[in-house]
Amino acid sequence: MCETHNMIQTNLYDSKSPTWCPGCGDYGIWASLRTSLNQLGWGAEKYAVVYGVGCSGNMTDFIKCHGFHSLHGRAVPNAEGIKLANHELTVICEVGDGDCYGEGGNHLLHAMRGNADIKVLVHDNRVYGLTTGQTAPTSPSGFKSKSTPQGVIELPVNPLSFAITQGASFVAQGFAGDTIYLIKLITEALSHKGFALLNILQPCVSFNKFYGYAYYKERIYRLEEDNHNPESKEEALKRVMQDETRIPLGIIYKKERPTYQDQVGVLAKGTLVKQPMNNPKEFTSLLNIFTENPL
Amino acid sequence: MINLTWKIGGEAGFGIMTTGHMFSKIAVKHGYKIFDYIEYPSLIRGGHNVYEVRVSDEEIYSQEKKVDFLFALNKETYDLHKEEVREGGIIVYNSDNFKLNTGEKERNVAIYSLPLSKIISDIGAQKVMENNVALGATIAILSMEINALYLIIESIFRKKGQEVIDKNKEAAKAGYEYVTKNPPDGFDHKLLPRKAEPQIIATGNEAAGMGAFVGGCQFFVAYPMTPSSALLHIMAMYGEKYGVVVKHAEDEISVMNMAIGASYAGARSMIGTAGGGFSLMVEGLGLAGITETPVVVMVGQRPGPATGMPTWTSQGDLQFVIHAAQDEFPRIVLTPGDINEVFWLTAEAFNLAEIYQTPVFILTDKYLLESHASVPVFELNQVKINRGKLISFEEGDIAENYLRYKVTEDGIPKRALPGMKKALFIANSYEHDEYGWSTEDPKERVRQVDRRARKLETFKKTISKQNVYGDTVADLSIVAWGSTKGPVLQAMKDIKGRSDKIKVNFLHITHAWPFPADCVGDFLMKAKRTMIIESNSYSQMGLLIREQTGFDIKNKYLKYDGRPFYPEDIQNKIMEVINL
Ligand SMILES: Cc1ncc(C[n+]2csc(CCOP(=O)(O)OP(=O)(O)O)c2C)c(N)n1
Ligand code: SF4
């Protein structure tokens, strides 16, 4: 477990106790999310959290708020639906890398294209945790796991470059072992208007020992201390295309553009679920379109 | 009684669909009832398209095999369909496209040559307007009013300006005048204007769209797939005006999950698909089931499996839709039989979904979704919106100790929404306790499974009756479901027209799940002879009836060639069974 734990104000929450392995990076993410929500001062009516299925998704039971524990891979479309129905809510996805970059990868691509106003926090542990240690789309080539004893053949996905080029308006990376900074990044992501991807490097102490706290600590650096311009796509791409000798943390790319819901005409009239339901009589004009009057 | 079938055929690209639809409108403008049916292959250009419109001054329920007026735009149409023309009928052919040997007179059938291209070039109009020439000629041949066509042209091209309207009218007039100058010989069917009430002309897709709007749909999401793509088009076309957010999602998995998300947040949500797309939605369906999220699912059947025969009809997905997804959870499956039922059951589906907090299906097929019928204008004041046990934001802001999955007697708990201050909950795809926390406790599990099941028992009490048509005491009792209703009713009507001695009755199932076992069992118990009619090869409804009632319906008329039932064939089957 990471050193910053005792700083977290959890008294607002009345949930079940976590069941993650001792030392799992998910604790750091959990603590950071709750602290960020506390700092933002949001009441439960302000947001909803959609969880994928994985160790990451088990966070459902550890936060008392409006939540939706979805299917493996499907949190993103659930979140998009919630946002369109009630865009007053900040909609947060807590998903795994297998969940979001593998099983549900297609959804991510299209949510980014549309700048769907959802905040996707990915627990990137480069392995499948809940199903006890198979390869994930983020695992490097040659990675030996229960499902790839001879080593992974494919290249790993590069979710950050993918997000930068496919329309995400906020792309950032955090580390579960640096919760002080992670809290700040989560707050930035939640405050961003538009699609936000926050990839969180998350040690899985049980099934991916190589990518532990030490591995990341030796390599991470903060972009804001490294003269980075997050408005520039080119610069952002350069940062995420480097090899892993140095791993950037912070806001990699950020450029606001109209969100999906901003461009849906019906929502200009107000929040969908709060719009009054039409009186059936108002549909006479609709029936008229299909009605023929005798000569 | 007036009964006339007009059929036009040609290559895809002529605008057969528009032309046929316009003829349906012309007939309704003359005060007649119509039923139309289209056949086309899964191609954009080329391939053989036909559109037939049956017109009558009495109630009609389906298409028929015989034709009175065949409009052959190409040779293929002539060759394929000339035998269908009844004695006393007419074949009009485009003599600029193909030639018939003189003397090729069919039985007692008039043959009329119409030089479509010449007429259009004489007035200096574009080839795309040939269909108006064809309609103008049709109107003259049937002694109808050309004004009806003018009115329709005006409403179609209103946005394109007077010049376009005038040019199209001119083409119509040219066709009309050509026939007036060269009247056909030996054909004397007339469709003179009659007095009648206004009628809606709609396909199943259009009726489902109207039902959705009127039923309070707020969120519609789909991925195009024949035969339900037109529902997406209608929702997209009118969604903005009537306050519905419409989304064409990236795939059907997303479709189902977006609808679930929107509904969890409180929007009345609907999706439309066909069997293939529904296959991708199945895991999501289970998610709606266990999280108790209302969602209305329109599934249009076509022959399968996989891609199957995209533009043809089938009733092969009944057992799939009833059983799709792992384990058990309540669902409601409605099987409307005609345009009226599609409208009313779709509107009602939104209420059922919210009252029982569960998925509700409208199970239809290509035949129902793409055929037009004329029906009396729906009475909007009959529509009622019932949101079940949904609590208001005011209530949710102050609720204490709220439990989303509270065990209740009728199985239905109160439903809160995200955005409420105090009534918090987790919609959980894992088995959960009354709050929504995940649980693997055996007692909790059983309590929740039992409660969810009770929702369906509560619903069952409301659907004890299904519609029975025909004689109270009958020599033969027919059971059918969904769109087969039309051809069966037509066959029964035609039999009655021939002889009053043959007694037939018919139970039409509009609520396939939960299965109305008492009502179906009762009907079969009283029956002398029974027959089931459906569009699949296993007799899926027959099997369901046996499973649910113990009755084994021995006489089966099953059809799975992609074509709809014809009343003539049903009549023959009825006679076969009665004469056994
Ligand atoms: C459709 C489906 N396929 C497979 C699974 C089994 N499954 C559950 S979690 C998981 C992978 C978890 O890995 P990841 O998404 O990276 O999350 P982590 O557990 O590492 O946090 C799999 C394969 C499932 N629940 N649903
Ligand atoms: S298996 Fe890995 S990811 Fe899952 S709880 Fe344990 S350490 Fe965390």
B356-406 pLDDT, tens per residue? 999 999 999 999 999 999 999 999 999 999 999 999 999 999 999 999 999
pLDDT for res A3: 38
> For residue A37, what is the DSSP state?
H
Q: Do B380 and A278 touch (CB under 8 A)?
A: no
**Pick from B198, B421, B430: CB nearest A294:** B198
pLDDT for res B102: 55
B314 and B410 inside one domain? no
Are the C-beta atoms of B1 and B57 separated by less than 8 Å? yes
B331 and B347 inside one domain? yes
Pocket test for ligand 1, best of A26, A69, A103 (most atoms within 8 A of CB): A103
Distance CA B335, CA B345 (A): 8
Distance CA B32, CA B199 (A): 9
Q: Cβ atoms within 10 A of the Cβ of B550, count?
A: 10
| Predicted confidence (pLDDT) at residue B93 exceeds the cutoff of 50 | yes
Which of these, B409, B238, B263, lies nearest to B349 by C-alpha position?
A: B263
Which of the two residues, A10 and A240, has the higher pLDDT score?
A240
Cβ A112 under 6 angstroms from ligand 2? no
**Pick from A71, A269, A294: CB nearest B195:** A294
Distance CA B78, CA B114 (A): 14
Here the tokens at position A28 are: 């750091």
In B33-93, alpha helices (H): 75-81
Cβ A206 under 6 angstroms from ligand 2? yes
Torsion of CA A144, A145, A146, A149, to 10 degrees: -10
Please name the residue of chain A whose CA is at the shortest distance from the CA of residue B245.
A266
Residue B196 located in a structural domain: no
Residue A50 in contact with partner chain B when CB distance is under 8 A = yes
Written in H, E and C, the secondary structure of B149-188 is HHHHHHHHHHHHCHHHHHHHHHHHHHHHHHHHHCCCCCCC
Contacts of A69 in chain B (CB under 8 A): 426-430, 438
Distance CA A107, CA A74 (A): 8
The phi and psi torsions of B112 (rounded to 5 degrees) equal: -130, 125
Distance CA B77, CA B72 (A): 5
pLDDT digits (tens, 9 = 90+) for B232-258: 999 999 999 999 999 999 999 999 999
B160's CB contacts (< 8 A; 6+ apart) are none
Per the structure, the count of domains in chain B is: 4
Cβ A124 under 6 angstroms from ligand 1? no
Contacts of A13 in chain B (CB under 8 A): none
| Predicted confidence (pLDDT) at residue A34 exceeds the cutoff of 80 | yes
Contacts of B287 in chain A (CB under 8 A): 70-71, 74
Which of these, B292, B237, B232, lies nearest to B456 by C-alpha position?
A: B292
B113 and B159 inside one domain? yes
Closest ligand, as measured to the CA of A75:
1
CATH number for B229: 3.40.50.970
| Predicted confidence (pLDDT) at residue A11 exceeds the cutoff of 50 | no
Distance CA B489, CA B470 (A): 9
pLDDT for res A280: 82
Distance A73 CA to ligand 1 centre (A): 8
B222 and B326 inside one domain? yes
Cβ A129 under 6 angstroms from ligand 2? yes
Confidence band (pLDDT; 50, 70, 90) for B105?
low
Distance CA B261, CA B118 (A): 58
B360 and B247 inside one domain? yes
Measured between alpha carbons, how far is residue A166 from residues A160, A236, A257, B499, B564 in Å? 10, 13, 13, 70, 46
pLDDT for res B41: 82
Which of these, B169, B458, B176, B481, lies nearest to B321 by C-alpha position?
A: B481
Helices B339-356 and B442-460, axial angle in degrees (round to 10): 150
pLDDT digits (tens, 9 = 90+) for B513-539: 999 999 999 999 999 999 999 999 999
Cβ A130 under 6 angstroms from ligand 1? yes
CATH number for B486: 3.40.50.920
Residue B288 in contact with partner chain A when CB distance is under 8 A = no
Closest ligand, as measured to the CA of A105:
1
pLDDT digits (tens, 9 = 90+) for A181-235: 999 999 999 999 999 999 999 999 999 999 999 999 999 999 999 999 999 999 9
Atom of ligand 1 nearest to the CA of A204: 20
B250 and B375 inside one domain? yes
Residue B295 located in a structural domain: yes
Closest ligand, as measured to the CA of A131:
1
Cβ A74 under 6 angstroms from ligand 1? no
Residue A107 in contact with partner chain B when CB distance is under 8 A = yes
Residue B190 located in a structural domain: no
Cβ A207 under 6 angstroms from ligand 2? yes
pLDDT digits (tens, 9 = 90+) for B179-213: 999 999 999 999 999 999 999 999 999 999 999 99
Are the C-beta atoms of B369 and B203 separated by less than 8 Å? yes
Closest ligand, as measured to the CA of A56:
1
Report the top-level CATH class of A2-264. Answer: alpha beta
Confidence band (pLDDT; 50, 70, 90) for B107?
confident
| Predicted confidence (pLDDT) at residue A10 exceeds the cutoff of 80 | no
pLDDT for res A44: 94
For A40-44, A93-97, B39-43, B128-132, which range has the lowest pLDDT when averaged over its residues?
A: B39-43
Sign of torsion over alpha carbons B236, B237, B238, B243? positive
Percent helix, strand and coil across chain A, each to the nearest 5: 40, 20, 40
Contacts with A, B 518-577, CB within 8 Å: none
Sign of torsion over alpha carbons B488, B491, B493, B499? negative
Task: Tally the residues of chain A.
Answer: 295
B513 and B434 inside one domain? no
B232 and B375 inside one domain? yes
Question: B181, B215, B236: which is the final residue of a domain?
Answer: B181
Residue B346 distance to chain A (closest CA, Å): 14
pLDDT for res A5: 39
The ipTM, to two decimals, is: 0.96
Residue B186 located in a structural domain: no
Q: Which of A13, A55, A76, A82 to mutate to test the interface with B (most CBs of B within 10 A)?
A: A82
End-to-end CA distance of chain A: 81
Contacts with B, A 130-159, CB within 8 Å: none
Residue B193 located in a structural domain: no
B213 and B324 inside one domain? yes
Contacts of B213 in chain A (CB under 8 A): 278, 283, 286
Contacts with A, B 229-258, CB within 8 Å: 238-240, 242-245, 247, 249-251, 253-255, 257-258
Residue B307 in contact with partner chain A when CB distance is under 8 A = no
Strands B426-428, B476-481: pairing kind: unpaired
Confidence band (pLDDT; 50, 70, 90) for A1?
very low
Atom of ligand 1 nearest to the CA of A128: 13
Q: Domain range spanning residue B90?
A: 3-181
Cβ A152 under 6 angstroms from ligand 2? no
B318 and B411 inside one domain? no
Q: Write down the mean pLDDT value for chain B.
A: 96
Which of these, B363, B369, B459, lies nearest to B410 by C-alpha position?
A: B459
Which of these, B459, B471, B290, B483, lies nearest to B373 by C-alpha position?
A: B483
Cβ A203 under 6 angstroms from ligand 1? no
Please report, rounded to a whole number, the percentage of residues in chain B having pLDDT higher than 90. Answer: 94
Distance CA B317, CA B513 (A): 13
Element spanning A183, H or E: helix A179-191
Contacts of B210 in chain A (CB under 8 A): 283, 286-287, 290
| Predicted confidence (pLDDT) at residue B19 exceeds the cutoff of 90 | yes
| Predicted confidence (pLDDT) at residue B488 exceeds the cutoff of 60 | yes
B268 and B168 inside one domain? no
In B30-141, alpha helices (H): 75-81, 116-122, 130-141
Distance A28 CA to ligand 2 centre (A): 12
Distance CA B408, CA A273 (A): 26
* pTM summary value: 0.96
3 state DSSP class of B270 = strand
Listed by start position, the domains of chain A span 2-264
B444 and B514 inside one domain? no
Mean pLDDT of B80-104: 89
Are the C-beta atoms of A5 and A23 separated by less than 8 Å? no
Which of these, B168, B196, B202, B197, lies nearest to B369 by C-alpha position?
A: B202
Q: How many CB pairs under 8 A join A and B?
A: 231
Mean pLDDT of B103-129: 88
Contacts of B381 in chain A (CB under 8 A): 280-281
Mean pLDDT of B303-312: 97
| Predicted confidence (pLDDT) at residue A8 exceeds the cutoff of 50 | no
Sign of torsion over alpha carbons B574, B578, B579, B580? positive
| Predicted confidence (pLDDT) at residue A4 exceeds the cutoff of 80 | no
Residue A68 in contact with partner chain B when CB distance is under 8 A = yes
Distance A140 CA to ligand 1 centre (A): 18
CATH number for B134: 3.40.920.10
Cβ A208 under 6 angstroms from ligand 2? no
Please name the residue of chain B whose CA is at the shortest distance from the CA of residue A89.
B419
Distance CA A176, CA A28 (A): 5
pLDDT for res A93: 98
